[in-house]
Structure 1
């Protein structure tokens, strides 16, 4: 399982951090699970976040960039791309990944990478944080973003 070896989640009071969630609209059941996972993490960390929906995973970076420009400390990006019979999967996955990395580096903002890149629907459902899922990638993406935002703040990069 991909989650093997994951570190323990260090929960802290993140109530002073501004968090945005940008979520694709494809694969509703999986996306709803990912968003719920983010919301569970935010509750555990005593943080709140606002959800912005975009048409698909390809559109995540541009909205994440706009949110970073608005001063958010962390942006959690959620999407699902299921492999098909064309190279579309590779193009979308690469564009989303490269774009989100660029947002993080260009704006020095924490990006939670919650983009599932799966071979089939079953893999996506297994990572969506649903009752029958083995993994909760929404929770993990939010936790990573919050921990990174805290580190950036400790380094003096982002201050209230």
Structure 2
């Protein structure tokens, strides 16, 4: 899997809890993203709770609702470009919303939202057998690394 330029991450000692908020569209891709996130959490000794929502647009409200109950949140979803501006609206709303959750809550939000032109691109990033990348794993690793970096500075 491609990790060109990826940093080596060392976590602080701690018992981190992470909410995985995951969309339901594009089942195969979503299962790969969730599996990657859960593997990264298990490797780090973090405990996870999986919360499923209908689509990527709903990731922000779910993340906002649960953020205060966890050390970090990982948002996973996929939006595939179609023939209408719907793609742009959903991607923008989800990105802006998740950023707002992170800033407003002071909790790290791992960004695992795939924004792809087609299903092939999404599968190639989903951590499935034959995929070049594992964005679910990367999103969890980023969230845990940030939680670890912020651990000395409690809310």
Pick the TM interval, shorter chain: over 0.9
Aligned partner of 2:52 in structure 1 is: 53
5 Å matches for 1:64-79?
64-69=63-68, 71-79=69-77
Q: Which runs of 5+ in 1 are unaligned?
A: none
Give 3-state SS (helix, strand or coil) of 1:33's partner. Answer: helix
Native 8 Å contact 1:13 1:45 kept in 2 = no
In structure 2, stretches of 5+ residues that fail to align are none
Q: Cα deviation per residue 1:39-88 (whole Å; 9 max; x = unaligned)?
A: 1101110112010000000000000000113x211000000000001000
What residue number does 1:36 align with?
Answer: 35
1:148 alignment partner, one of 126, 146, 149: 146
**Preserved contact between residue 18 and residue 73 of structure 2 (Cα < 8 Å):** yes
Say if 1:2 and 1:99 are closer, same or farther in 2 by CA, change over 3 A: farther
Structure 1 stretches of 4+ moved >6 Å: none
Give runs of aligned pairs for residues 2-151 of structure 1, distance below 5 A. Answer: 3-8=3-8, 10-12=9-11, 16-69=15-68, 71-151=69-149
The two structures have a TM-score, normalised by structure 1, of 0.91
CA deviations over 1:106-130 (Å, ceiling 9, x no partner): 0100100000000000000000001
In 2, the alpha carbon distance for the partners of 1:35 and 1:14 equals 24
Alpha carbon RMSD of aligned pairs, Å?
Answer: 1.6
User: By how many angstroms is 1:157 displaced?
Assistant: 2.6
Q: Provide the rounded CA distance (Å) in 2 between the counterparts of 1:15 and 1:152.
A: 11
How far apart are 1:134 and its partner, in Å?
A: 0.3
Shift in alpha-carbon separation, 1:14–1:54, aligned structure 2, 3 A = farther
Which structure has more relative contact order (CA 8 Å, sep 6+)? It is 2
